[in-house]
Amino acid sequence: MGKINDELTNSVALTRVPMVGNTLAKYLINFCGSATEVFKTPKSKLIKIPEIGEKIADNIKSFKEYKSLEHEFSYIEKNNVQVYFYTDAHYPIRLKQIPDPPIVLFGMGTTNLNVPKVISVVGTRNATVYGKEWTEKFIHELSNTGCLVVSGLASGIDTFAHRSSLKANLKTVGVLGSGLKNIYPAQNKVLAKQIIEEGGSILTEYLSDIIPDKTHFPERNRIVAGMCDAIVVVETKKKGGSMITAGLAFQYDRDVFALPGKITDENAEGCHYLIKTNKAALIENASDLQYQMRWDIQTQKPVQQQLFVALTPDERRIFDLLKTKGKTGIDDICFELNLAQHQASMNLLEMEMKDVIRSLPGKYFEIK
């Protein structure tokens, strides 16, 4: 579990500051050196940081909700909650690649979230017998791959994906749109317990007391889409949460697969749309996925190797500089590459999120 200290407390606090959130919090942490330093920085200096105006600076300086966080960390310690801070090695490495990953995840269970093969399985809450049976058969066919199965712990296809994973002796992760005290739907509390007992995990970006809310589920969906190498859409209407998740996965450059159904079946409309618009490959069985992902030929390439091809031109220049010089300060990076500090900070932040580099005290950086 990530160590609970002032830095972690301030990092969580920063995401709770009005108008900040995950993306801006990471930018501020990278610019100032730490979350603790963000709160220590005078307003006169905060407003000079690119993207930070007087209103956000005021919100940071006036933040007073530390009491609620003390309650949260007490709950974490008493219940052995796992804390995944975005700079920690055990944070889901694939999730660091998306534009707005959670700065902190909270979890029950001790699953390795960085195994070589991770898939997400999503679908309608109103699953048909066909969808349920296909999901169970599909996951059973993957039982010898050792892949991690991620879903949203919702009713319908999500539930069958988790249950089928348990039957196939595969680890599975349920991502919540609520806090750990408020498993939703309530009938899946027993399933959540089974997932944890069988070596899986329940994850959330929300504090433990947070109740389910319709605005949380699209946010939850980005985690389901971002954690995987490939996502499988089993049954869905043309509009709904599964289509949002599939769309996000497509944006994140994940492999998307969709199960076809009858053309008269409302639950097949979304899958057919994804296939027709070339956003998803048609899938009939696990062999289709293994062939497309090349799991049938060799072990998937390490995520670290895959990341290099995703570097932007400026990120590549920074990488080459760090490769040549080793540990380098941000001022030297700006001077050597003729970059403004805010440009260098944003590129360094993106590279850190891609797990290519690590930040060191004093605003120094080096290749991992």
Average pLDDT, the chain: 89
Beta strands in the chain, from DSSP E residues, in sequence order = 82-85, 104-108, 118-122, 148-151, 172-175, 201-204, 230-233, 255-258, 281-282, 328-329, 357-360, 364-367
- For residue 92, whether the previous peptide bond is cis, meaning omega lies within 30 degrees of 0, is no
Task: Say whether pLDDT at 298 is over 60.
Answer: no
What residue ranges do the domains of the chain occupy? Answer: 6-78, 108-292, 303-367
Identify which has the larger pLDDT, 114 or 88. Answer: 114
* Residues 349 and 100 sit within 8 Å (Cβ to Cβ): no
Equal CATH topology for 6-78 and 108-292: no
Which one of 1.10.10.10, 3.40.50.300, 2.40.160.40, 1.10.486.10 gives the CATH number of domain 303-367? Answer: 1.10.10.10
The pLDDT, as a whole number, for residue 234 is: 97
Task: Say whether pLDDT at 108 is over 80.
Answer: yes
The pLDDT, as a whole number, for residue 4 is: 58
Q: Of all residues in the chain, what percent carry a pLDDT higher than 90?
A: 61
Q: What are phi and psi of 329, to 5 degrees?
A: -80, 160
Class of domain 108-292: alpha beta
Which residues have CB under 8 Å from 65's CB, separation 6+? 13, 16
Average pLDDT over residues 345-357: 84
Identify which has the larger pLDDT, 219 or 325. Answer: 219
Average pLDDT over residues 199-207: 96
> Quick one: fold of 6-78?
DNA polymerase; domain 1 (1.10.150)
The three-class DSSP label of residue 172 is strand
* Residues 120 and 224 sit within 8 Å (Cβ to Cβ): yes
Token output for 337? 């590459």
Q: What is 228-285 written as a DSSP string?
A: -SEEEE-S--SSSHHHHHHHHHHHTT-EEEE----TT-GGGHHHHHHHHTTSSEE-SS
| Structure confidence at residue 342 as a pLDDT band (50, 70, 90) | confident
Give the tens place of pLDDT for each residue, 56-70: 999 999 988 777 788
Q: Name the nearest CA neighbour of 318 among 343, 295, 298.
A: 343
Residue 23 burial (10 A CB sphere; 0-12, 13-18, 19+): middle
Task: Say whether pLDDT at 325 is over 60.
Answer: yes
Give the tens place of pLDDT for each residue, 138-170: 999 999 999 999 999 999 999 999 999 999 999
The pLDDT, as a whole number, for residue 297 is: 63
Average pLDDT over residues 237-242: 92
Q: Of all residues in the chain, what percent carry a pLDDT higher than 70?
A: 95
Give the tens place of pLDDT for each residue, 264-294: 999 999 999 999 999 999 999 999 999 999 8
Average pLDDT over residues 122-139: 96
| Structure confidence at residue 50 as a pLDDT band (50, 70, 90) | confident
Q: Residue 300 CA to chain centroid, in angstroms? A: 20
Count of CB atoms situated within 10 Å of the CB of 107: 23
- Measured distance CA(219)–CA(222) in Å, rounded: 6
Token output for 173? 């992760």
Average pLDDT over residues 165-181: 97
**Looking at this protein, which amino acid is placed at residue 91?**
Y
Task: Say whether pLDDT at 1 is over 50.
Answer: no
User: 35-39: long-range contacts (C-beta < 8 A, 24 or more apart)?
Assistant: 35/7, 35/10, 35/11, 36/6, 36/7, 36/10, 38/10, 38/14, 39/10, 39/13, 39/14, 39/63
| Structure confidence at residue 368 as a pLDDT band (50, 70, 90) | confident
Question: Sheet harboring 364-367: ordered strands across?
Answer: 328-329, 364-367, 357-360
Give the tens place of pLDDT for each residue, 248-265: 999 999 999 999 999 999
